[in-house]
Homo-oligomer: A and B are copies of this chain.
Amino acid sequence: MFLKNAWYVACTPEEISDRPLGRKICGESMAFYRNVQGNVVALEDFCPHRGAPLSLGFVENGDLVCGYHGLKMDCAGRALSMPGQRVKGFPSIRSFPVIERYGFVWVWPGDPAQADPEKMPHLAWENDPSWAYGGGFFHIRCDYRLMIDNLMDLTHETYVHSSSIGQKEIDEAIPTTVNDGDAVITSRRMEGVIAPSFWKMAMRSNGLPEDVPVDRWQICRFSPPSHVLIEVGVALAGQGGYDAPASSKVSSIVVDFITPETDSTIWYFWGMARRFRPEDAGLTAQIRTGQQKIFSEDLEMLERQQRNLEEWPKRDLLKLNIDAGGVMARKVIERLLADERT
């Protein structure tokens, strides 16, 4: 129940070494490797000879060689050669469109003819030295839509992340949710509050006082298939909040690329892009470590929620105003899924 005609983050470039990487994306088992030009290739992880996983093989001059009996494939999924065999009549395997961008390897698990690079998300910080980025990823046993719900309703921060980014005022601030084409945007503003510990650290890192009232904002933007970018920040109170001058605020973008593995498991790529002190690698590492700890607090909740929903499959869930972001995102997905079927 996920879109297949879309760009998904498959892995980070560092995960592809001399040995291919085997990973299932949207139900498709793929082998990732680099060809002779250094471009990442994704083939079906199934050798047409005897069905061995190609990801157990090796790369020779940019071609993927099956590690069982040596069938060599080209990057289009055609058999290139095999010792002592003529391979002309061999069946091909699928090759999946791949783009390497923004520090990720993106793959299109659906119809290759529709794999338009223009459909890639546009991220502000590409090739812009005023930004810094750090992140990581988790494997989680839940439906990808539970993770979208999680990110489009940040009131959970008050409960799940109470010691870092949660604060009572999040619950009390009514969010607004709107459509923007296929995107869904949920916004929340809190004025004159004391920053929670994560943001105190960020203000301190940025030379701002940490114990004065701030205006805080969270602008969650879902875009299909399952990407959520969240503009977050705090400004000294009364200076315009989100629109305050750069010198009196700290802001960043929480980056969430959710990639279904199966109907009930995901690869979750998370990170933070920030505009302050981008040259400070130590700060990048510190934020990454903090974010990893915070985001790992969601794992048990998501996996247990998944199991609960499997146990009570017929139970309706509530759709409150705080859930509007997730609910509207699901409607977009439903509509695009219907398109994809026809």
**Residues of chain A whose beta carbon lies under 8 Å from any beta carbon of chain B:** 29, 45-46, 48-53, 56-57, 65-70, 82-85, 90-91, 149, 153, 155-156, 158-160, 168, 171-174, 300-301, 304-305, 308-309, 311-312, 315-318, 320-323
Q: Which residues of B contact A70 (CB under 8 A)?
A: 155, 158-159, 171
Complex contact A83–B315 (CB within 8 A): no
Complex contact B68–A323 (CB within 8 A): no
What are 28 A-B residue pairs whose CB atoms fall within 8 Å in the complex? Answer: A45-B308, A46-B315, A48-B318, A49-B317, A51-B309, A51-B315, A51-B317, A52-B301, A52-B305, A52-B308, A53-B304, A53-B305, A53-B308, A56-B304, A57-B159, A65-B159, A68-B301, A69-B156, A70-B155, A82-B320, A83-B155, A83-B158, A83-B168, A83-B172, A84-B172, A84-B174, A85-B320, A91-B316
Q: A51-B317, A155-B70, A304-B52 are in contact. Are A84 and B309 (CB under 8 A)?
A: no
**CB contact between A50 and one of B51, B83, B174, B323 (< 8 Å): that residue:** B323
Q: In the complex, how many angstroms separate the beta carbon of A95 from the nearest chain B beta carbon?
A: 16
Complex contact A83–B305 (CB within 8 A): no
Q: Which residues of B contact A83 (CB under 8 A)?
A: 155, 158, 168, 171-172
Q: Which residues of B contact A65 (CB under 8 A)?
A: 159
Q: In the complex, how many angstroms separate the beta carbon of A233 from the nearest chain B beta carbon?
A: 22
**CB contact between A308 and one of B29, B301, B308 (< 8 Å): that residue:** B29
The number of times this chain is found in the oligomer is: 3
CA distance A259 to B119 in the complex (A): 53
Q: Given contacts A29-B308, A57-B159, list 5 more A-B pairs with CB under 8 A.
A: A50-B318, A67-B159, A68-B160, A69-B159, A83-B155
A154 nearest in chain B by CB position: B69
Q: Which residues of B contact A168 (CB under 8 A)?
A: 83
By CB atoms of chain B within 10 A, which of A84, A316, A317 has the most?
A: A84
Q: In the complex, how many angstroms separate the beta carbon of A62 from the nearest chain B beta carbon?
A: 18
Complex contact A90–B318 (CB within 8 A): yes
Complex contact A311–B29 (CB within 8 A): yes
**CB contact between A67 and one of B56, B66, B301 (< 8 Å): that residue:** B301
Complex contact B160–A67 (CB within 8 A): yes
Q: In the complex, how many angstroms separate the beta carbon of A317 from the nearest chain B beta carbon?
A: 5
Q: Which residues of B contact A52 (CB under 8 A)?
A: 301, 304-305, 308
Q: Which residues of B contact A312 (CB under 8 A)?
A: 46, 51
A71 nearest in chain B by CB position: B318
Complex contact B318–A49 (CB within 8 A): yes
Q: Which residues of B contact A153 (CB under 8 A)?
A: 69
